[in-house]
Structure 1
Amino acid sequence: MRTVTAWAEKTFGDAASQLTHLIPASLVRAHDRARSGHEGVQTQTLEAYGHGLYAAQYEELEVSLAPLSAAAPVRLQGRTLMLLGDQLIYPLRYAKRDVPVTAARLRRATGLRADLIRRHGPEPMQQAFDLGFEEPDELDPHPDLALLSKNVKLVLVAYACSMVQGVMRIEWGSAELRQEDRHLIWHHHEPLPLIT
């Protein structure tokens, strides 16, 4: 049995212990499926692996977490994400090599992922400076966000993974997205044990 941290217990209650096993196992299976898909199409680029991993991460998490009593699926931008109570679990492959999660940043500062973090992540640690300039109008959020209650909190499951090395690192926690760029500022993150 794995040790459950105070943060995990507070965030997920009785499901925390199960999640520390189910989430890493799901990501390893997603990697295995993506690698198998790449080998099947025999391309020289890693396109098949990358696209396969992106799709398989959601599917594997859905299959693993669906049996939990507090779990409920929600469809956002054509993918099924899992809600556990008021916690939305969102997978994020942040690197193709083993680097700290604090190096994570998004590919784009707009879109569903960015909007999710801004609207359902933690309150910013540092408020924006008011320099008296008129701010440009904020873009409308992704329409699928209307499917989520305002009470929903986002839990990022950030992981480093490559086709050759597999899943190298998994951490979960909460992060804000800096307004001016694509960098994540972690309010809390902690490792999830890798399945060996």
Structure 2
Amino acid sequence: MEPSAGSDWSRSVFGELVVPLSKMIPECIVRAHERARDGHRGVGTQTLEAYGHGLYASQYEELASGLTQLPSATAVRLQARTVMVVASHVLYPIRYAKRNVPVTVARLRRAVGLRADLIRRHGPDPMQRELDLGLDELQQQEFHKDLSQLEPDIGLVLLAYACAMDTGVMRLEWGDAELRRGDRHLLWHHHEPLDLPDAQRSA
């Protein structure tokens, strides 16, 4: 299947890179799953710890390897992981579920830490600003020290996917979302599905 030409939102973010990104990102996430699955089988444990830890590490590694040749792509180290920045946007993977459920149910495990701070600092402006922090207060808020490596105007695109060892990658979307202080629920401003490789879709 040919990669999507993207929506108005994704074209406004990535321009001509929408087409290669919409093909390469799913391939990277599927390879990360395959590496984690093979690692679990190699260890042979009864629990899924090896799969979970392997997937967490390999998702960053596969995206870094797969996207490094794209124009304007740069790598940044955040909390000992290599994260890719393309077209002035951080591409950040999140496995939000182990079953095939909509991305709109996605919640972070914790309301604090690097991932939460990254979304609050580099995600979209709040839809209801009067219910959230004012800009001055937001700028004064303390964030994870690693985020000092990112310019304040860098954007964020979340790569949210549902995946399990036995079923593989069931759903993958990209988009932008806000995260209110003290909350773990993602409020999506934009999200759209990315087509999975044919072999994964038929698995």
Alignment TM class, shorter chain as reference: over 0.9
> How high is the TM-score relative to the length of structure 2?
0.90
Gaps of at least 5 residues in structure 2 are: 199-203
SS of alignment partner, residue 43 of structure 1: coil
Alignment partner, residue 180 of structure 2: 178
Aligned pairs, number: 190
RMSD: 1.5
Alignment partner, residue 9 of structure 1: 11
Distance (Å, rounded) in 2 between the aligned partners of 1:97 and 1:129: 33
Larger mean Cα displacement after TM superposition, 105-114 or 180-189: 180-189
Distance (Å, rounded) in 2 between the aligned partners of 1:173 and 1:160: 14
Q: How does 1:22-101 map to 2 (within 5 A)?
A: 22-101=24-103
SS of alignment partner, residue 2 of structure 1: coil
Higher helix residue share: 2
Gaps of at least 5 residues in structure 1 are: none
Distance (Å, rounded) in 1 between the aligned partners of 2:110 and 2:130: 20
Distance (Å, rounded) in 2 between the aligned partners of 1:16 and 1:100: 22
Residue 125 of structure 1: how far off its partner (Å): 1.0
Instruction: Give the partner amino acid of 1:178.
Output: R
Give identity over the alignment, percent.
Answer: 60
SS of alignment partner, residue 11 of structure 1: helix
Residue 2 of structure 1: how far off its partner (Å): 2.2
Distance (Å, rounded) in 2 between the aligned partners of 1:33 and 1:7: 32
Equivalent pair of 2:13/2:87 in contact (CA under 8 Å): no
Please give the per-residue CA displacement for 1:129-176, whole angstroms capped at 9, x wherever unaligned.
49xxxx9xx873100000000110000000000000000000000000
Instruction: Give the partner amino acid of 2:181.
Output: Q
Distance (Å, rounded) in 2 between the aligned partners of 1:82 and 1:2: 20
Deviant stretches of 4+, over 4 Å: none
- Are residues 1:167 and 2:169 paired? yes
